[in-house]
Structure 1
Amino acid sequence: MRIRFDLFPGGKSKALTLSYDDGREFDREMVRILNRYGIRATFHLNSGFLGKPGYLERSEVKELFSGHEVSGHTVNHPFLNMSPKERIADEILQDRSALEQLAEYPVKGLSFPYGAWNKEVVALLPALGVEYARTTNHHGGFHMPDDFLLWSPTCHHRDMLEFGQKFIDDQPRHPRLSLLYVWGHSYEFNNNNNWDQLEQFGERIGRRPDVWYATNIEIVLYMTALRQLRFAVSGEWVHNASALSVWLSVEGQAVEIQPGETKRLVV
């Protein structure tokens, strides 16, 4: 029996997520545009900068990012790869704590300030409650990461129109999970006076029935639930111990396994 982990929620094979750093005031305009097109993003905030000139106010974080995700970016935006372990831990934990009070949910993600990391930084992350961390090393592909603690995006948003079209047109020879992951800073749109690029991206790729629009943490949680499915030796039976519905293909047919369900896989 051919069983493949090649489907996102709703039996879709494609997903889109965006990732934006720093918590600058231009996030307001970005959220307004994204909401119009049904596109969802993760916003990595430096809690120590909130309320300063040019940055968001602490009081607006929960409402502004409703439907999106608030994630960590450290308190003060240091080079983590040049910091003592104690400072790394404090920067990440204090940022998480402050943002959780504003968002009112657990903050489990991180983007590396300046895109700077090393193996010592990454090794600390699980103990600090971090479930994923984004780099700035864009790879130009649509594949899922091997390690969510070193999650590299497809492209910077300067190339979002090019890769958005490739993503829409992408028809892989073999079924697979296909993810378009775009990162950047909202102030770049303002500095370059090219908000129209984001509008064009939304018009081109927003509200498509074949795409799952997700935040970073939703992708992590979904993939965790998918990988933790419990199969019988024969593959005939599967149990979903998670609180999420997950989808897989059985002999090329989409099958949903609901939360807590034990299901016989017959097509």
Structure 2
Amino acid sequence: MLVPFLIMVREGVEAALIVGIIAGYLRQTGRSQWMPLVWIGIAVAALLCLGLGIALDLVSADFPQRQQELFSAVVGFVAVAMLTSMVFWMRKAARSIKGQLHDSIDAALKGSNASGLALVAMVFFAVAREGLESVFFLLATFQQASGLAAPLGAVAGLLVAVGVGLSIYWGTLRLDLRRFFRWTGAFILIVAAGLLAGSLRSLHEAGLWNGLQQIAFDISPVLPLDSPLGSVLGGIFGYQDAPTLGEIGLYLCFLVVTLPLFLIGSNAPRRLPSNA
């Protein structure tokens, strides 16, 4: 439950920040009449992402076991790629995102007959980017979890993100966005490493990967995966009580490469908008 909650908070705040900047600029420049189009862009993107998630889940339910494992692996790899690119993109783009969005709004509303459509498209793609990342992450998470805890965590995280976004927009909450994105980004990379190892395991169960299947270590007598603590660690960090050499190697290699790059880059001076 914790991982979907935190991911949805992060994704939701990121989307709310972008929408808040757009809405705030429209209000400050006397263009509030365009706000209905902003809501249309948000609604279309949200419905598209929701529909895609439901469709993929329904389609995968009819797959035979081997195809289900392959689907789980593919979704996991896509989720890792999208989550990783997202945290690095936000680290880079946050320095100038407010100015870029203001310039894009001015360009979209320059008197062209298609200006309204351009604004809808801008909001749509901003929200759809975060939504699609969330869809693939949640699908990968739900493939490796059971019960209602993960969906409830995702819904709770989305509601918190909406509240945070509204508070930032109205200026009632001052959030240290630089620190927020830094630490949630590092957490997402650790989660992505677990998804990556789980995807390799799914490839093996689908019969497509048989290398490095020797057990690296077995601590199931000390901390079994089905214990309360083991379940929590498995859900958050992808913990396995008897991982293979391939899973451990992939997990560590991913973190050794991505975490230092992300954290070193995050220490560079930058300015993030604290409100819209």
Which has the higher relative contact order, 1 or 2, with Cα contacts under 8 A spaced 6 or more apart?
Answer: 2
* TM-score (normalised: structure 1): 0.29
Question: Which has more strand, going by share of residues?
Answer: 1
More helix, by proportion: 2
Q: Give the alignment's TM-score, normalised by structure 2.
A: 0.28
In our comparison, the structure showing a higher alpha carbon Rg is 2
